[in-house]
Amino acid sequence: MSELIAQSGGAAPLLAIFTDFDGTLVEIAETPDAVDVPAHLADQLDRTARDFNHAFAVITGREIADIDRFLAPLHLPVAGAHGAQRRKADGTMLELDAEITGAAQSIASAMAPLLEEHSELILEPKDGAVALHYRQAPELEEDCLLAMQAAIGKHPEFTLVPGKMVIEARPAGFDKGSALKAFMQEEPFAGRTPIFIGDDTTDEDGFRAAQELGGVGIKLGPGKTIARMRIADVASVYALLEGLTQIVTGPQATSNLADETPILAETTAH
């Protein structure tokens, strides 16, 4: 991480920070609505955003409305549904094509028989995507995959993306990397060095995009990754964000973020 600090010259505006939500800013819960959002989180993210001239965004598989609800009253730039939804820093919402939203509704409806048979499965319909969670029934992974494959067979514009105990159908061409690159073409992100923090396989596209643009991907937890850096857990993400905001206060912040500290470690295998 020290190379990013050197690039910044101690000036926070030269960094742009992007994070996943579930498993990164909050611990993963049994169901999507059961996440526990720490009382301090919205204030910390607001402070981070202000210290970095608002070059801070959440890139998530959730809908934007979910992030707004969990972080209220804070409204950040957000890419939802893996980039199929996006709210720019100026508040502009980029709308999805009606055909995409209609196809997502059709895919969600096709899951009804499976859900009736297995009540422990959770369907998360989104505006432009569909997620099928099997965290409470991991033995049903193959059944979920087969059902989703059959559903998107009628909608070739969609693709399947596996995650942690979830299979998601989303429009082809949208991922966390494309969302990050779209933000980086706009103010206040343009011209800065991107950092992307995430924990899941769906975050690999974000790591790749950040690193292609000269930045760093930071993988939370174990597992194979292309990210150059690794961080232990959600609490360490909070510590990292706090350390990054200290860059504006002077050179003492660099000691908190140096490569030898326990907050971050180089990824030994990609």
For the chain, the C-alpha Rg in angstroms (whole number) is 19
Among 164, 269, 176, 180, residue whose Cα is nearest residue 226: 269
Q: Is residue 46 flagged as an active site residue?
A: no
Residue 187 half-sphere exposure, CB side, CA atoms within 13 Å?
2
β 129-133/122-126 pair status? antiparallel
Distance CA 112, CA 109 (A): 6
Query: Residue 176 carries which side chain, given as an amino acid letter?
Result: K
Quick one: how far is CA 101 from the chain centroid?
21
Peptide bond between residue 32 and the one before it cis (omega within 30 degrees of 0): no
List the beta bridge partners of residue 36.
none
Q: What is the DSSP string of 13-73?
A: GGEEEEE-SBTTTB---SSGGG----TTHHHHHHHHHHHTTT-EEEE-SS-HHHHHHHHTT
Q: Which residues are catalytic?
A: 20
